[in-house]
Structure 1
Amino acid sequence: MSRINVMQPWFGEEETAAVAEVLASGWVAQGPRVAAFERAFAAHQEADHAVAVSSCTAGLHLALLVAGVGAGDDVVLPSFSFIATANAATYLGARPVFADVDPVTGNVTAETVAEVLTRDTRAVVVVDQGGVPVDLDPVRRLCDPQGIVVVEDAACAAGSTYRGRPAGAGAEIAAWSFHPRKLLTTGEGGMVTTSRPEWAERVARLREHAMSVSAAERHASVLAPAEQYPEVGFNYRMTDLQAAVGLVQLGRLDEMVARRRALAEGYAKALEEVDGLRLVADPPHGTTNFQSCWVEVEEEFPLSRDELLVHLARADISARRGIMAAHRQPAYRYRYGGGLPLPGTERLTDQTLILPLHHQLSESDQARVVEALCRAGRAR
């Protein structure tokens, strides 16, 4: 038997040709392909402005910075997320305040956010966990009148929809990931989208050391103008090599989403008769791209989550534990300091696993996974 991978990026000859064209051009750093990728991504996601960056973590950092978050502020965010969500607030000297999540969707809600707002809350970060779109509108109705900026961590959400529009379209500012575990990948890389032109302009400047003159402007001049640095910036640039891949991947996105949704539907139908396994599904307010196809191992299932992972591994099937809980990690355990209990977060962190799901997953491979899950359901 060959190993079944939990995730795998989908590349073709088009990506290879796009990279070769950039190499032949001699312009491999941030340049015309990055600008083209920004325009195409903004159009696809129905965003007013898009600025490419080196990672989603960099995007979150800059999004919070331009939103006015600084030292001493509180930033409400889910513990049930990759550690980068909390790290971005910490980079700015702000205090992460952990909100619980809905145990069905894995996302924060207006109710869980309201429970932990403080008088020092400057921003709230909502996450489209695993591609499941967060119910953004109620959170904004809660926060906007209080002057609290809502940042959407849409790292996993390219190809998901919210109330009939692309995920992130209703956000004042959002950050995206193009890591290989995401549908649309550039190897590493990210994007910031925003409805506010002044924020987009500042993000674009800050990603390039806050230089007053861009690299493109300097290159276009025989005698380059002298640049100034009005504030401390960062090296958060994307390269044209990455953007060239991103442009091809963006053209594949709709096909990738359709394929993943079909595979997820196959899992759902096959597992209907297996008691104790609950597969993630579309929420009432949108559709998921199934960036992560996670399943909750409930108490009536014969094996625990960790026992099921071992069972799958013995069948040469690679699965992964579900999303981490940041408040349990050493870096944040002392910062968390015993806030409100997070029962939804801890339940999902302890009881979920991610099943293999990617574009190249064959019907026979999926049948192997399903058969192994059904065998586990009869284990005792």
Structure 2
Amino acid sequence: MIPIALPLLSEEEAEAARAIVLSGWVSQGPQVVAFERDFAALVGAPYACAVSSCTTALHLALAALEIGPGDEVITASHSFIATANCIRYCGATPVFVDIDPATYNIDPNRVAEAITPRTRAVIAVHQMGMPCDLAALAALADRHNIVLIEDAACAAGSQIWMNGDWERIGKPRGKIACFSFHPRKVITTGEGGMLTTADPELDRKFRLMRQHGMSVPDTVRHGSSQVIFEDYLVVGFNYRMTDIQAAVGRKQLERLAQLVSQRRTIAARYGELLGNFEGLRLPAEPGWAKSNWQSYCVRLPGRVDQRAVMQSLLDQGIATRRGIMCAHREAPYANEKPRHDLHQSELAQDNSILLPIYAQMSEQDQERVADALTRELQACVVYS
């Protein structure tokens, strides 16, 4: 079986986790602090705060900004449903806008059209690791005095040309960037997430709210020679990362450059193998973006049946996934008519598939995927 994704974990990660298990301190502690420091240094952010997932990171971002009922947050429907759900967690209203079909990312022109007096923020998703047009989005946010939040769940290791240099996603351009370390991502801690920001007050709020609003962290109380009674200053959450996860994350972070390089090689090879099939549209980077190729998404030609192609590949031992979902089509949002046209988002979901991609994927497996896909598409074209 060729899986859709496969995390690269080794004895180094196993030994790092083992050491923490045997240390006796397995909850949020010194390894989390070190992971935050390492991640911040890598992406060029003054502050990084580790949490239990990207979903909780997005929720904390909105909660720390005090976004709530009556507020609107513009985002893409074409994203994993957690992006929209986090807005709902706060009682705010998600306003869905369409994507640029070339990049599958939120279209800054559509964002501009959707801004109202109630708009408090924009959540821009770096979909499948492909960077958004941050220059346009940041300028738009500044012009309208709204907050730009980056849903960078898939984008660890991706880069963007800014200020005359290649900079990593996560270096603050808006207010906050939120990352995921789920096993489908380029680096993983099993579950886990991270927020980066340049705002010390927001970072303070993240740290307070991720641990029940507790005025004194566990690490301080356990290390004190004096009895300390903590207070609970706000309604907070249990959004902590464990030291076990953080120890694994630190080892994964050491691999990040290598993992991205291998994925970029695989993406280029897919381009060579599939680039000559008429009507099959391959993903392409804008000149100002370097994707980490967390996913490799192809647009099927004509009226080809997406499900039939996926089933045929699965029958041959090749896993795929449909194009990225659209939240407005799911039950929690389906009863609300979208304010804005989402045609390109729907086409992307219905006509695209994600092919297997992971750092240790062999050339032979890539060829097997490409051969199976082209054979199936040729058969579909013949019988359509």
Give your verdict on TM over 0.5.
Answer: yes
Q: Corresponding residue for 1:91? A: 89
Q: Corresponding residue for 2:170? A: 168
Residue 188 of structure 1 and its aligned partner are, at CA, apart by 0.4
Residue 67 of structure 1 and its aligned partner are, at CA, apart by 2.1
Cα deviation per residue 1:193-240 (whole Å; 9 max; x = unaligned)? 001000001101100001010111011113331111111000000000
Is residue 330 of structure 2 the alignment partner of residue 329 of structure 1?
yes
Q: Structure 2: how far apart are the matches of 1:364 and 1:285? A: 31
Please, what TM-score do these two structures have when normalized by structure 1? 0.97
Residue 112 of structure 1 and its aligned partner are, at CA, apart by 1.2
Equivalent of residue 258 in structure 1, options 238, 261, 268 = 261
Residue 168 of structure 1 and its aligned partner are, at CA, apart by 2.6
Is residue 117 of structure 2 the alignment partner of residue 119 of structure 1?
yes
Q: Corresponding residue for 2:248? A: 245
Q: Is the 8 A contact 2:309 2:377 kept in 1?
A: no
Is residue 228 of structure 2 the alignment partner of residue 225 of structure 1?
yes
Aligned-residue RMSD, C-alpha: 1.1
Is residue 312 of structure 2 the alignment partner of residue 311 of structure 1?
yes
Cα deviation per residue 1:133-192 (whole Å; 9 max; x = unaligned)? 001121121122322101000000001001110013123211100000001100000000
Q: Read off the aligned partner of 1:320 and give its amino acid letter.
A: R
Residue 339 of structure 1 and its aligned partner are, at CA, apart by 1.3
Q: Structure 1: how far apart are the matches of 2:168 and 2:325? A: 26
Q: Read off the aligned partner of 1:165 and give its amino acid letter.
A: E
Q: Read off the aligned partner of 1:261 and give its amino acid letter.
A: R
Q: Structure 1: how far apart are the matches of 2:337 and 2:71? A: 16
Residue 314 of structure 1 and its aligned partner are, at CA, apart by 1.9
Please, what TM-score do these two structures have when normalized by structure 2? 0.96
Q: Read off the aligned partner of 2:360 and give its amino acid letter.
A: Q
Q: Corresponding residue for 1:346? A: 346
**Uncovered stretches (5+) of structure 1, i.e. residues with no partner:** none
Q: Read off the aligned partner of 1:191 and give its amino acid letter.
A: M
Q: Corresponding residue for 1:192? A: 195
Is residue 371 of structure 2 the alignment partner of residue 371 of structure 1?
yes
Residue 27 of structure 1 and its aligned partner are, at CA, apart by 0.5
Q: Corresponding residue for 1:17? A: 15
Q: Corresponding residue for 2:56? A: 58
Q: Is the 8 A contact 2:74 2:96 kept in 1?
A: yes
Q: Structure 2: how far apart are the matches of 1:23 and 1:171? A: 37
Identical amino acids, percent of aligned pairs: 47
**Uncovered stretches (5+) of structure 2, i.e. residues with no partner:** none
Q: Is the 8 A contact 1:122 1:149 kept in 2?
A: yes
> Where do residues 103-114 of structure 1 align in structure 2 (5 Å cutoff)?
103-114=101-112
Q: Structure 1: how far apart are the matches of 2:4 and 2:98? A: 27
Q: Structure 1: how far apart are the matches of 2:116 and 2:242? A: 40
Q: Structure 1: how far apart are the matches of 2:262 and 2:363? A: 12
Q: Corresponding residue for 2:37? A: 39
Equivalent of residue 268 in structure 1, options 271, 277, 284 = 271
Q: Structure 1: how far apart are the matches of 2:287 and 2:360? A: 29
Look up the SS of the partner of 1:279 in the other structure.
coil
Q: Structure 2: how far apart are the matches of 1:102 and 1:338? A: 17
Residue 7 of structure 1 and its aligned partner are, at CA, apart by 0.5
Q: Is the 8 A contact 1:281 1:288 kept in 2?
A: no
Is residue 2 of structure 2 the alignment partner of residue 4 of structure 1?
yes
Look up the SS of the partner of 2:148 in the other structure.
strand
User: Once structures 1 and 2 are overlaid, which stretch shifts more, 55-64 or 138-147?
Assistant: 138-147
State the 4+ residue runs in structure 1 displaced beyond 3 angstroms. Answer: none
Is residue 233 of structure 2 the alignment partner of residue 235 of structure 1?
no
Cα deviation per residue 1:229-266 (whole Å; 9 max; x = unaligned)? 11100000000000000000000011100111101111
Is residue 140 of structure 2 the alignment partner of residue 142 of structure 1?
yes
Residue 109 of structure 1 and its aligned partner are, at CA, apart by 2.4
Residue 304 of structure 1 and its aligned partner are, at CA, apart by 2.3
Q: Structure 2: how far apart are the matches of 1:345 and 1:73? A: 24
